[in-house]
Amino acid sequence: MNFRPGLEGITAVQTNLSSVDGENGRLIFRGYHADELARKYTFEEVIYLLWYGELPAQNELKKLKKQLHEARNLPEYIIRIIDELPEDMEMMAVLRTSISSLKANPEWPPTLEEATRITAIIPTILAYRYRSLHHLEFIAPNHQLDHVSNYLYMLTGKIPKDAHIKVLNAYFILTAEHGMNAATFTSRVIASTESDLFSAVCGAIGAMKGPLHGGAPTGVMSMLNEIGTMENTEDWLRKKLNNNEKLMGFGHRVYKTNDPRAEALSDVIESLSANDDWFALARYVENTAIRLLKEYKPGRRLYTNVEFYAAAVFKAIDLPEMLYTPTFTASRTAGWSAHVLEQAENNRIFRPLSEYTGLENMINENTQRG
C-alpha cells in the first residue's frame, strides 16, 4: 500500500474554492488573491464569493447582509443551554455544544440558508458567553452594523473604531478559507456521509479546538509579552534557538516563502498603527527572528506566518485571549460552509484504506477450541 502518515501529499478533493501555493506564497479564493481581497473588500463580499463563486453586485450584497442580520439572533433555548454549561468549560466546547443544538434541515443536501444561519450566529454565541462569564449584560446584535463590527460591538457594547473594524475585517477575510486543512477535511468527511451542515461544522470545530490547529496566536502573544522590549529581543530569541525550541509565529507546513496572509495583515496594521509601541515591538521581533532563523537553520526557509500577525491584530483590538481560537473559528465557518456545499454537489463518501500492522497467527492448532 502507498501509506502516507497524516495523508500528507495525498490529493483527496478537487475544489473550486481556494488554491494554497506554498512554494510561491499565494493564496487564491475563486481566482482572486486573498491578500488583495483583504485590502479592498469586506468580509460579506468574500462570503458571497466563496458561496456563490463571484463577487456580488450591490443588490446581491445588500440581500446577503439582510440575511446575515436576520440570522444573528440567539434563540432562547440556546441561551438556556449556554447558561447551564459549567463556567470552566472551554469556549470552543461551548460553541460546539451550541451549534449542535441548531435545527438542521431534515432533507439533504445542505442549503445556503443553513450556511447563512451558522455563519451569522457564531459571533452572537461567543459574545453572549463571554459577557455572561464576566457578569455583564448581553448586548443584542446591532442590525445597522456589518458582520465584523457587530461582533466587536456585542463584545464591548461600544461602536468600534474604524481602524479596529478594518484590521479585523482583513483578518476575517484572510482566515476564511485555506485549502484542505484538518478542520476543513473533517467537515467534508462528515458531509460526505450525507449528514447535515451543522454536524459537519461541529466536527470542524472539534478539529480546530486542538492546539496544533487553532491555538497558535496565544503562543505568539505569550512570546511577545515575555520579550517585552526591543533590548531583550535578540538575547531571548537566541536562548530559545540555542535550546532548540520553536519560535511561535514562524514557519508554516505549506508556505516555503512569505505567508501572503501575514504580509497583508502587516500592511493593514502598519497603515493604521504606525505609532503603536506594541506593533513596533512585533515588527522588531519579526525582523530579528527572521535574521536569526537564517543563521541557526540555514536552508529551512522559515518565514513569518499568519498567526504572528493575528496576535498583533488581537492585541490592537484588545480581544480577550479566551476568544482567539473562537474568533478564528468565526471567520473560518464561511469557508467550512462553502466546502460542505461543494461536497454535496458531487458527493462521494470518503473511505480510505488502512494497513494492518498488528500480530498474526495468534490461534494455532494447540489453542483452537474443541
Would you name the residues annotated as active-site residues?
A: 252, 307
Question: Quick check: helix, strand or coil at residue 193?
Answer: coil
Query: How far is residue 155's CA from residue 164's CA, in Å, rounded to a whole number?
Result: 13
Query: Is residue 16 within 8 Å of residue 53, measured between CB atoms?
Result: yes
The C-alpha atoms of residue 172 and residue 243 are separated, in whole angstroms, by: 35
What is the DSSP secondary structure assignment for residue 14, as one 8-state letter?
A: -
| Helix 277-296 / helix 260-272 crossing angle, nearest 10 deg | 150
- Could you tell me the CA-to-CA distances from 165 to 7, 161, 169, 273 in Å, in that order? 38, 6, 6, 13
- For residue 17, give the 3-state DSSP assignment: coil
Q: How far apart are CA 229 and CA 235, in angstroms?
A: 11
Contact in structure between 322 and 89 (CB atoms under 8 Å): no
Is the link from the previous residue into 109 a cis peptide, with omega within 30 of 0?
Answer: yes
Judged on CB neighbours under 10 Å (0-12, 13-18, 19+), 266 is buried
d(CA 41, CA 357): 51
DSSP-derived pairing of the beta strands 18-21 and 32-33? unpaired
Q: In what order do the strands lie in the sheet with 26-29?
A: 18-21, 26-29, 32-33
| β-strand partners of 32 | 29
Residue 349 CA, chain-centre distance (Å), reads: 25
Indicate the SS3 state at residue 20: strand
- Give the span between the Cα atoms of 241 and 235, in whole angstroms: 10
